[in-house]
């Protein structure tokens, strides 16, 4: 079986066919990929013979008959039990989903593999995006893999090792004063005046489909069951939105049963637009005036997917919470020093959030928990 699909606006009833290089809907909102059918649960058995990368789920992905993805072995990352965390917090089961083991050192590989695949199949030979770091590394690598040109806009404050990786993969790197929002404007302007495809978060429909595979993968790794809680360091929100889409599709197709996980979104107190909106009971985020955090992936002051993230948190019965930079850095150091897992600061944020959620009673002793480490720590040093 291969897929056919169309696009549906995430906010209105507008639909669009899947051809060409779609951006956002006429309402300016992100598109969602809507598949015509889902694969039958009997496919589970056939997965056993496939390589452990995200394209093992190709029947769940935007790939038509005869098409091949642009890939570097992304996905198939381990779920690591963290016994010292379980003991310290009095919990039965805590895993770290270690996305730092992806190509290019972060889960951005999944989204960019999917986006570059679709755009290349539609004829694109040039790409651009704004980046707080890891998206730029991944786009540079997948762009090279596809034989395309890449221009990346990053804030000057981006960790130097990440900038080195972007240069290593041969991208045209433009450093700007300001934050990712300013870089986004520059990337859009460049895309408008050239043939470059802008693969900014949620400004094309397919990065979500790549991130969706994190949800399918967790389900498969847990024997087609889901954990009680997922704690996810949130910037643009593609992972949160993508995993929730995965769980909905898997349930609809009869691949999984039972309750859905509670989704918890963690941000830094220095940039927490989702937390602020969630706590106010709002349905949309407001731009965060002066974003400041060492967790570069969380420094997204005005996420385009704000409304969708808030919907996921509400539907799943989870919530959003912020932790200070000092706490997320200490938590990252703890996972390295006690468990040998080299997490990025954003991954540390997930552990710091778990401690807070246990303390306030949101997470109880028998809840099974997946913490997302979204990238490798060495990129930040």
Ligand X SMILES: *Cc1c(COP(=O)(O)O)cnc(C)c1O
234 touching ligand X, by CB under 6 A: yes
- With contacts defined by CB under 6 A, name the span among 50-58, 69-77, 236-244, 255-263 that binds ligand X: 236-244
Name the helix (H) or strand (E) containing 34: strand 31-35
Residues 6+ apart with CB under 8 A from 235: 132, 201, 267, 297, 298, 299, 300, 303, 346
Is the CB of 205 or the CB of 235 nearer to ligand X? 235
Only one of the segments 63-71, 234-242, 282-290, 313-321 lies at the binding site for ligand X (rule: CB under 6 A); that segment is 234-242
Q: How far is the CB of 36 from ligand X (least distance, A)?
A: 27
- The CA-based angle 215-100-270, given to 5 degrees, is 90
Residue 375 engages ligand X in binding (rule: CB under 6 A)? yes
In the shown chain, the binding pattern of residues 294 to 323 toward ligand X, with x for contact by CB under 6 A and - for none, equals ---x--------------------------
Both tokens of 59, joined, read 């029947």
Which residue stretches of the chain are H helix?
43-47, 83-89, 108-121, 134-145, 160-168, 180-193, 207-221, 238-252, 273-279, 306-316, 325-339, 345-359
Q: Are 361 and 312 in contact (CB under 8 A)?
A: no
Answer yes or no whether residue 238 interacts with ligand X by CB under 6 A.
Answer: yes
Identify which of residues 112 and 191 has a Cβ nearer to ligand X in the complex.
112
The three-point CA angle 294-105-94 to 5° equals 80
SS (HEC) of 273-341: HHHHHHHCCCCCCCCCCCCCCCCHHHCCCCCCCHHHHHHHHHHHCCEEEEECHHHHHHHHHHHHHHHCC
Whose structure tokens read 């978060």?
A: 201
348 contributes a contact to ligand X by CB under 6 A? no
Does 134 interact with ligand X (rule: CB under 6 A)?
yes
Q: Does 233 bind ligand X (CB under 6 A)?
A: yes
Q: How many residues in the shown chain lie near ligand X by CB under 6 A?
A: 16
Nearer to ligand X, 16 or 311 (CB): 311
Among 30, 159, 184, 236, the residue binding ligand X under the rule CB under 6 A is 236
Least distance in angstroms from the C-beta of 1 to ligand X? 28
List, in order, residues 6 or more apart from 26 with CB less than 8 Å away: 9, 14
Select the residue whose beta carbon is closest to ligand X and give its number.
297
Interaction between residue 75 and ligand X (CB under 6 A): no
Q: Which of 39, 239, 273, 301 binds ligand X (CB under 6 A)?
A: 239
Alpha-carbon distances of 2 from 49, 62, 114, 362, rounded to whole Å: 18, 9, 15, 41
Rounded to a whole number of angstroms, the minimum distance from the CB of residue 110 to ligand X is 10
Query: Which of 85, 313, 374, 377 lies at the binding interface for ligand X (CB under 6 A)?
Result: 374
If binding is defined by CB under 6 A, does position 235 make contact with ligand X?
yes
**Least spacing, CB of residue 381 vs ligand X, in Å:** 14
Q: Which is nearer to ligand X, 57 or 380 (CB)?
A: 380
Binding residues (CB under 6 A) for ligand X: these are 106, 108, 134, 201, 233-239, 297, 344, 346, 374-375
């Amino acid at each position: 079986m291969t897929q056919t699909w169309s696009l549906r606006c995430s906010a209105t009833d507008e639909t669009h066919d899947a051809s060409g290089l779609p951006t956002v809907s006429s309402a300016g909102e992100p598109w969602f990929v809507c598949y015509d059918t889902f694969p039958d649960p009997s496919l589970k058995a056939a997965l056993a013979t496939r390589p452990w990368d995200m394209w093992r789920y190709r029947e769940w992905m935007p790939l038509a008959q005869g098409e091949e993805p642009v890939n570097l072995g992304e996905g198939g990352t381990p779920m690591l039990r963290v016994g010292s965390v379980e003991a310290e917090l009095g919990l039965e089961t805590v895993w770290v989903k270690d996305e730092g083991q992806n190509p290019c050192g972060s889960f951005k590989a999944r989204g960019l593999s999917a986006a570059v695949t679709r755009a290349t199949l539609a004829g694109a030979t040039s790409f651009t995006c704004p980046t707080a770091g890891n998206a730029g590394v991944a786009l540079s690598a997948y762009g090279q893999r596809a034989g395309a040109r890449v221009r990346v806009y990053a804030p000057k404050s981006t960790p130097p090792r990440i900038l080195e990786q972007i240069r290593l993969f041969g991208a045209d790197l433009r450093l700007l004063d300001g934050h990712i929002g300013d870089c986004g404007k520059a990337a859009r302007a460049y895309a408008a005046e050239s043939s470059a495809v802008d693969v900014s978060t949620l400004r094309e429909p397919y990065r979500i489909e790549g991130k969706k595979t994190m949800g399918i993968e967790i389900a498969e790794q847990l024997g087609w069951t889901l954990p009680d809680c997922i704690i996810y360091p949130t910037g643009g929100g593609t992972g949160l939105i993508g995993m929730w889409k995965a769980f909905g599709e898997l349930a609809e197709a009869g691949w999984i049963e039972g309750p859905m996980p509670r989704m918890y979104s963690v941000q830094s107190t220095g940039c927490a637009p989702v937390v602020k909106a969630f706590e106010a009971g709002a349905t949309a985020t407001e731009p965060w005036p002066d974003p400041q955090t060492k967790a570069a992936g969380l420094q997204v002051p005005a996420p385009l997917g704000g409304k969708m993230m808030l919907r996921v948190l509400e539907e799943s019965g989870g919530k959003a919470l912020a932790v200070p930079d000092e706490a997320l850095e200490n938590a990252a150091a703890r996972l390295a020093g006690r468990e040998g897992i080299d997490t990025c600061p954003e991954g540390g944020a997930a552990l710091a959030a778990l401690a807070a959620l246990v303390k306030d009673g949101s997470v109880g002793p028998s809840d099974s928990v997946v913490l997302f480490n979204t990238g490798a720590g060495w990129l930040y040093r």
